[in-house]
Amino acid sequence: MFAVVTIAGKQYEVSEGDILVVDKIDGKVGDTVTFDHVLLTHDKGKTVVGTPMVSQVKVKAKIVAQEKGEKLEVRRYKSKVRYRRSNGFRAQMTRIQVQTIA
């Protein structure tokens, strides 16, 4: 069984037991999070497409870790005027493990 779920504005295809790294979700490590924006489900050869969401289907996941993503470096440069700027950024990420699709 798998489902297509909207998490923090992005769509993910998930199955039970999958581990995902998504944009930051509020909560502590070990908390359970429920996602009810399910767009599609597939189980035993039967596919249900939502209009726009599948009703009565929810995905439960456990927060495994709160972490930072890879560092991005932003550099700006203008020729002939000695303008140079450098800045770094690390996005806040959440690692979740899908427990049930019901």
pLDDT digits over 70-91, tens only?
Answer: 999 999 999 999 999 999 999 9
Q: Determine contact, residues 4/88, Cβ cutoff 8 Å.
A: no
Residue 3 is predicted with a pLDDT of 96
Question: Which domain does 21 fall in, by range?
Answer: 2-101
> What pLDDT, on the 0 to 100 scale, is given for residue 40?
95
Q: Distance between CA atoms of 41 and 47, rounded to whole angstroms? A: 6
Helix (H, G, I), strand (E, B) or coil at 17: coil
Give the number of domains in the chain: 1
Residue 6 buriedness (CB in 10 A; 0-12 / 13-18 / 19+):
middle
The pLDDT of residue 71 is 96
Q: What is the 3-state secondary structure (H, E, C) of 52-100?
A: CCCCCCCEEEEEEEEEEEEEEEEEEEECCCCEEEEEEEEEEEEEEEEEE
Question: What are the pLDDT digits (tens) for 3-54?
Answer: 999 999 999 999 999 999 999 999 999 999 999 999 999 999 999 999 999 9
